[in-house]
Structure 1
Amino acid sequence: MAIWQYLILFSSVLIGGGLAQAIRTDSDKNRWQAVLPLLLSFSGAYLLGIAAMELMPTVFRNPEYHTGVWLLGGFFVQLLLEGLSQGVEHGHVHAHKRQGYGYAITVMVGLGLHALLEGLPLGTAGEMGHSLHQHTHMDGDHLLVGIVLHKIPAAFALGLLLRHSGYSSRTTWGCLLLFGLLSPLGAVLGEVISIDPVWRNRVLALVIGSFLHISTTILFEADGDRNHGISAKKFAVVVVGMMVAYFTAH
């Protein structure tokens, strides 16, 4: 990865977290609560789109890798991590007052492990594309865009969660900075650690499974106040997200 890609990955968390800290009035809060589901719906649709049209065809090229098991493993790992992170990955904000630092640490463990894991294939994407003789678009750019799109609302939710739970600005920003550093750290580990093609494939499959859990959860919750329905506005956003994924993956 180039330096600018690391900076974008890190800055996406600062943008999302900074927007959360900038909210001062109830009108600001209500405005962002209306925008956040749309951004989440777009990012969820884009993640699902690139997972189905680009990432999954990449990891399923070799049947000897038993990719399906690792993809399902990533899905269930994310299911477990969500129990720690309180669903921050898909925009949930469940504030808990007077919980002490243990609550923040628990959230950061779940969110941090996810961030570290999703960064690993960014560091190995170029090697994976080369190992497949360039028959794939797996150069990491689309994966990077997908991660950035879902990191902005996740950081926004994390910032709101910590702030409304009563943590100081110093603690909140410390957690945001840590969250911002972990995916770039994962990418660095992916670059410096020598991983054979089989394990590169497995790591990417784990991340895809995680993406499938996050994206489908976002889309299922697209209109939480409706009975198995979705508003026309959010449906249009989902369609646009998948179209963008289609045209960037082809």
Structure 2
Amino acid sequence: MEQVAKKISDGAMLHIIRQFLDAGIMEDNEVHTQDRGTPQGSPLSPLLANIYLDQLDKQWKSSGLQKRYGEDAHLIRYADDFLILLTGNPTVAKKKLDEIMQDLDLTMNTEKTRIVKAEEGFDFLGFRFVRQYSQWRKKRVTRWFPSPKSEMRIREKILILTNNSVRSLMTPEEAKEMLIPVLRGWGNYFEHSLASNIFTGIWDYAQCRLMYMYCHQHNIPRTWKNRDIPDRLSIMDTKPHTFLGKRHNTMS
């Protein structure tokens, strides 16, 4: 609250925020309170996290570790998810980060914290980043695309919207109308990446699920071909056109 008070001078608003932090959350009809942190899943939590973690950004910047002729260690943060990219000694960067975290009375999730080489790849904000040699550029570049976990989650959403229980409640046309915004949102998020093949797989899977619904409701064998897809059920025209130009999905 001290950091929030530096940004907000309205006493009534500060009181409301304090009440929000003290309110707790309800789970299984039971109210659970906590003496630190913000309620997970609340729309206000990311804002409060950013206000507090702004100190993390400032202390890291003042440490000098991100200077090119130092450890060249750059902290990249989105809300409470962050990573450090560096060419220097990871031990030095980790030690400094621990000092800052202790000073701010913060703790890291050790299960989600690891040190890896860029060639091994890492996930951040739903993307998989990996450092590879480019035959086209004749040098090593960083490529990014939807992570396996992101792909698994969108497939699960598609399955939920087209499973057996849904078939008895809506028509394939209605299921299509529910699928399109889900697919479009996912596609727009990952559009600027090497996602062309992944997009094709996801859209094919969604199209197959819709056709299974259609075949089930009309007692049609599942040996249909793409040419047999009714126009009213086709979703392939909603697939984003990924940028195949190297400047959009690779980084030197």
In terms of fraction of residues, the more helix-rich structure is: 1
- TM-score class, shorter-chain normalisation, is under 0.3
Question: Scaled by the length of structure 2, what TM-score is found?
Answer: 0.23
Higher strand share: 2
